[in-house]
Amino acid sequence: MRQSQLFTKTRKEAPADEVSKNAQLLLRAGYIYKNMAGAYSFLPLGLRVIEKINAIIREEMNAIGGQEVHMPSLQEPTLWKKSDRWDDDKVDVWFKSNLRAGGEVGFAWTHEEVITELMRQYISSYKDLPLYPYQIQTKFRNETRAKSGIMRTREFWMKDLYSFSATEEEHNKFYEAAALAYKRIFDRIGIGDKTYRTFASGGAFTKFSHEFQTLCEAGEDIVYVNEVKGIAVNEEVLAEADLSELGITKEELEKRKSIEVGNIFSLGTKFSEALGLMYKDENGEEKPVIMGSYGIGPARAMGTVVELLSDEKGIVWPEAVAPFKVHLVGLNGDDDEVRDYTDGIYLAMKERGVEVLYDDRDARAGEKFADSDLLGIPYRVVVSRKTKEEGKFEVVTRATGEVRHLTEEELYADFDNDENT
């Protein structure tokens, strides 16, 4: 993409009402636009980041047997009343509305009821199990206070996978596979070294669960963690948890702030019994299906990456989720020969399949470099009259500040290298 054609613009200051680092940087860099409290538009650059996170999630969910579906956000009350989760006194995050034709609808904040009812059409025997449908879909939660930028919003993306198993053994095997897949996801998007599988409350789902908490001072949660042993416990259940089963004492745990980037729940037969999802085992005996629920917030993960990996100059994207791999910065735009030469480099990179954002704007070098740092694309390649004459390009690695000077052949070889893609 040519930056001159990008309709978004960078800005020097973030809106005064945004206090979180992720919102300030993403707004300044033109990745998102705030429409209202708790609702953001994802602009071209921001959408590219989200879709890369979603692609990583899809790959890992498909690898453990997931099958992608898409379910409606609009919900009719009947199913939710059966599971006793329609009443606002019991679940206080509903957005609800009335239909013109009469009747009430809700806007889904999760989909256990819907997928359970759907699976009644396809599960009748143990031979139909196990099944692992998932979706990446918009959810709505009537948060009292939307805050922390894109990490706590009222409308948001959610990857929610649901497991349907015949036995506890079958369920537990998949539960552990999902936990490992989550670890791979967070490793791939660049926050795995700060993210811990955390013993936690089940909230409106079940008694206990596991959260994936990323240690960060911007977090709203409190966890007790031992980084050496890789053990973490949410503060909410610290009094209830049997730490001896985890092989640790409270004195070995350190109190830290964290961001919940994912969660996994063993639901048992809570929803299958309430909604009549049964199967016949090998002996013809009818039994309720054993279920699990597994969630990740892609936008929350994106915001967490920004909170953890940004610096005083701006965002620092890991290569796996960056909107582009290379930021090609052309200088001396008033020189036709240099501009044509830079255009040629841009086209050559595109032909090699390198994702490149080309700053072809008529702007000063200092402005271009500041914007490049703010955008956080992994590699900056500078082309100018000087580099053309020298026959070498200045290549700056955003994460480390390392500067290299490469010939055109070395440049292409570097970005053709699989280790950098």
Given a cut of 80, whether residue 360 has pLDDT beyond it is yes
- pLDDT for position 206: 55
- pLDDT for position 421: 40
Residue 233 pLDDT level (bands cut at 50, 70, 90) = very high
Bridging pattern class, strands 195-201 and 208-215? antiparallel
- pLDDT for position 203: 59
Q: Which residues is 314 bridged to in the sheet? A: 311
Q: Is 282 exposed, middle or buried (0-12, 13-18, 19+ CB in 10 A)?
A: exposed
> Which of these, 213, 151, 158, 146, lies nearest to 23 by C-alpha position?
151
Given a cut of 70, whether residue 225 has pLDDT beyond it is yes
Indicate if 282 and 146 belong to the same structural domain: yes
**How far apart are alpha carbons 279 and 289 in whole angstroms?**
7
Percentage of the chain beyond pLDDT 90 is: 89
Indicate if 249 and 175 belong to the same structural domain: yes
Whether 320 is in a domain gets the answer no
User: 64-68 contacts: CB < 8 A, separation 24 or more?
Assistant: 64/132, 64/174, 64/177, 64/178, 64/181, 65/130, 65/132, 65/174, 66/132, 66/133, 66/134, 66/161, 67/131, 67/132, 67/133, 67/134, 68/133, 68/134, 68/135, 68/136
Collapsed DSSP state (helix, strand, coil) of residue 282? coil
- pLDDT for position 240: 80
Mean residue pLDDT across the chain: 94
CATH number of the domain at 339, please.
Answer: 3.40.50.800
- pLDDT for position 202: 65
DSSP E strand boundaries for 60-146 = 67-68, 74-75, 95-98, 104-107, 133-140
Indicate if 59 and 166 belong to the same structural domain: yes
The tens digit of pLDDT for each residue in 293-326 reads: 999 999 999 999 999 999 999 999 999 999 999 9
Bridging pattern class, strands 356-359 and 326-330? parallel
Phi then psi for residue 305, to 5 deg, are -60, -45
Domain closes at, from 274, 309, 344:
309
Whether 59 is in a domain gets the answer yes
* Domain coverage including residue 31: 8-309
Indicate if 293 and 366 belong to the same structural domain: no
Contact 137, 96 (CB under 8 A): no
Indicate if 165 and 32 belong to the same structural domain: yes
Indicate if 296 and 357 belong to the same structural domain: no
Whether 316 is in a domain gets the answer no
* Tally: H helices and E strands in the chain: 11, 21
Indicate if 336 and 297 belong to the same structural domain: no
Whether 278 is in a domain gets the answer yes
Whether 2 is in a domain gets the answer no
Phi then psi for residue 86, to 5 deg, are -90, -30
Indicate if 51 and 178 belong to the same structural domain: yes
Given a cut of 50, whether residue 278 has pLDDT beyond it is yes
Q: What is the mean pLDDT of residues 257-272?
A: 96
Residue 419 pLDDT level (bands cut at 50, 70, 90) = very low
**How far apart are alpha carbons 21 and 27 in whole angstroms?**
10
Whether 401 is in a domain gets the answer yes
Indicate if 234 and 350 belong to the same structural domain: no
Whether 1 is in a domain gets the answer no
Phi then psi for residue 375, to 5 deg, are -65, -30
Contact 258, 222 (CB under 8 A): yes
Which single residue is written with the structure tokens 């449908």?
Answer: 133
The tens digit of pLDDT for each residue in 180-214 reads: 999 999 999 999 999 999 998 765 545 678 999 99
Contact 330, 360 (CB under 8 A): yes
Q: How many CB atoms lie within 10 A of CB 136?
A: 21
Of the CA atoms within 13 Å of residue 111, those in its CB half-sphere come to 26
Indicate if 249 and 367 belong to the same structural domain: no
Indicate if 187 and 65 belong to the same structural domain: yes
Domain closes at, from 309, 337, 353:
309
Whether 211 is in a domain gets the answer yes
The tens digit of pLDDT for each residue in 340-349 reads: 999 999 999 9
The tens digit of pLDDT for each residue in 20-50 reads: 999 999 999 999 999 999 999 999 999 999 9
Q: What is the mean pLDDT of residues 153-159?
A: 96
CATH number of the domain at 56, please.
Answer: 3.30.930.10
Number of domain units in the chain:
2
Contact 48, 8 (CB under 8 A): no
Which single residue is written with the structure tokens 């090998």?
Answer: 282
The tens digit of pLDDT for each residue in 361-397 reads: 999 999 999 999 999 999 999 999 999 999 999 999 9
DSSP letters, 82-99, are HTT---TTT-TT-EEEE-
Contact 224, 252 (CB under 8 A): no
- pLDDT for position 241: 77
Q: What is the CA radius of gyration of the chain?
A: 25
Indicate if 274 and 340 belong to the same structural domain: no
Q: What is the mean pLDDT of residues 46-62?
A: 98
* Distances from the Cα of 113 to the Cα of 118, 172, 403, angstroms: 9, 21, 54
Residue 229 pLDDT level (bands cut at 50, 70, 90) = very high
255 against 203, higher pLDDT: 255
Rounded to 5°, the CA angle 156-231-175 comes to: 55
